[in-house]
Structure 1
Amino acid sequence: MSRLRQATCDDTAELWRVRYAVTENTLTPGRIGDDELHAYLQDYGRGWVIELEPAPNPKIAGFAIGDARDGNIWAMFVDPALHGQGHGRVLHDVMVDWLFAQGLTRLHLGTQPGSRAEAFYRRAGWTSTHEGLDAHGDKRFELIHENWNRHA
């Protein structure tokens, strides 16, 4: 049985396990550290996890982190072994709803061109900004509040 809950710094090891397990939108270990991760969880925004097994040894299926300062989707990843079970959409929707509830009118993100994530975001209503690729080679997308249809 899975449970959606707010992410905490206690989830750090599991967040990194999921993040480094992905095969698209990969991250070089060490490029982002615990301090930066914790700042996004506590100071800049909020994160959520889908927990499959509770503490004291939690197992996390996926996580999402949004930046309330500017509407950036800082991270959203699901363990590849658990793709296709709806975890990503649950995480996405709670994060988007929360960010828009903070008064933001536009959200943005970058993702690997041609990836499963790009297709996922397009299905969820995100549109390409046509800005080209960012410094990390990611394609830029945006979601405008007035266009957000949670049940699309």
Structure 2
Amino acid sequence: MTLRIATRDDTAELWRVRYAVTENTLTPGRISDAELHAYLETYGRGWVVELSPHPNLKIAGFAIGDARDGHIWAMFVDPALHGQGYGRQLHEVMVDWLFSLGHTRLDLGTEPGSRAEAFYRRAGWTPTGDAPDAYGDRPFELRIEHWKRHA
């Protein structure tokens, strides 16, 4: 297993993982390759957990953060590989990186009642109290002072 920075060469595997999830689903085509690449190369940075060698899968999961505002744009693990710590590794590297850029508050949205919501709550994220967004996602925040206490 290797944790590394994602590149546009990972595009097909990122989409494979993204469309494999059963919660926080995404309609194919709603986000273009160009938008994905912009988040990887211009707006922020992404990481992947690469499985090597694995006969059927190359990437276990990925995370992408927006350097401009500290927004977690995406974080997904292949459902067949849940519970193996890949999400935690991706989360920690992404959060550490975003805070290292000088952000003091990070934000994200996730499906209410999902496994992801439970994961983020365990990691110290708290709901902001704002209404769900246009996609029905509940907004959460993580403040640096809370991360330092619980990391």
Is the Cα contact below 8 Å between 2:7 and 2:40 reproduced in 1? yes
The 3 A distance-change label for structure 1 pair 78 and 150 is: farther
**Alpha-carbon distance between aligned partners in 2 of 1:45 and 1:14, rounded to the nearest angstrom:** 19
Write the deviation string for residues 57-95 of structure 1: whole angstroms up to 9, x where unpaired.
Answer: 970000000001011100000000000000000000000
Identity of matched residues, % = 79
Structure 2 counterpart of 1:69: 68
The alignment yields a C-alpha RMSD, in angstroms, of 1.4
Partner in structure 1 of residue 106 of structure 2: 107
Find the aligned partners of 1:89 and 1:51 in 2 and give their Cα distance.
14
For structure 1, list consecutive stretches of 5 or more residues without a partner in the other structure.
none
Q: Does 1:126 align with 2:125?
A: yes
What is the distance in 1 between the residues matched to 2:138 and 2:86? 23
Q: What TM-score results when the alignment is normalised by the length of structure 1?
A: 0.94
The match for 1:27 is 26
Runs of 4+ in 1 over 4 A off after TM superposition: none
In structure 2, relative to structure 1, the CA distance for the partners of 1:13 and 1:150 (3 Å cut) is farther
Which secondary structure does the structure 2 equivalent of 1:85 belong to? coil
Q: Structure 1 residues 150, 83: closer, same or farther in 2, change over 3 A? A: farther
User: 1:151 Cα deviation (Å)?
Assistant: 5.4
Query: C-alpha distance in 1, partners of 2:150/2:44?
Result: 24
Which residue does 2:93 correspond to in 1?
A: 94
More strand by percentage: 1
Q: Which residue of 2 aligns with 1:45?
A: 44
Describe the SS at the equivalent of 2:23: coil
